[in-house]
Chains A and B, each alone.
Chain A
Amino acid sequence: DGGITQSPKYLFRKEGQNVTLSCEQNLNHDAMYWYRQDPGQGLRLIYYSQIVNDFQKGDIAEGYSVSREKKESFPLTVTSAQKNPTAFYLCASSNGLGQPQHFGDGTRLSIL
């Protein structure tokens, strides 16, 4: 079945540590996205990528980094510069910008 796989489901970060969240899709979609969701809030866009080897900052990119070396993969690194990283992180993909997005089941990141 086609879909998006995010791993791990739960992740804990120590102070000063960088952590990487994985996102893989087999939908053959060009565009991929990372969102952050805080309790009772909507989704805020961190980064997006329209094509391999290209990505753009979203509304809250500070303290995060991404890469897009393969069409199927769009990992997100939460760096130590992100001072409030505790949140639910969602990865999505679509056929193009503005098109319906398919989401993974998220990674919940907490601080130790």
Chain B
Amino acid sequence: SQQGEEDPQALSIQEGENATMNCSYKTSINNLQWYRQNSGRGLVHLILIRSNEREKHSGRLRVTLDTSKKSSSLLITASRAADTASYFCAASGGAGSYQLTFGKGTKLSVIP
């Protein structure tokens, strides 16, 4: 399977700082998606970047994709306490396999 792996596993920052999370995957993809999960809740889709895109923005989120390194990063700028959550990347594969394969997540804590 082409599992996404996030790094770091946990991240603690002060409110107003930027948070960067990284994701690596193993094989070719059609797209890569980022999700947020608040404690005890379901996942919420944040952003999707296609394999032919290098960077995408959505509000305070910036996602980059480097297919040569099989890696992606999620940057949250000017973090808020409400950003405290776990963040997962999910790779959607090629060769007819469009299932999403999730990593283990990065647990982000934003301290007010």
Q: Which residues of A contact B (CB under 8 A)?
A: 4, 6, 35, 40-45, 48, 58-59, 90, 92, 96-98, 100-106
Contact = CB atoms under 8 A, between A and B. Distances in A.
For the complex of A and B, the 5 pairs showing the least CB-CB separation, nearest first, are A103-B42, A98-B98, A97-B98, A42-B102, A98-B92
A109 to B, nearest CB: 14
A55 B3 CA distance: 22
Contact of A90 (B1, B31, B42): B42
Given A43-B88, A48-B99, A98-B92, A105 B1 contact: no
Interface of B: 1, 3-4, 30-31, 33, 40-45, 48, 88, 92, 98-105
A90 B43 CA distance: 9
A101 B45 contact: yes
B99 A58 contact: yes
Contact of A101 (B1, B41, B43): B43
B99 A100 contact: no
A102 B45 contact: yes
A57 to B, nearest CB: 11
Contacts of A40: 104
Contact of A105 (B30, B42, B100): B42
Nearest to B5: A42
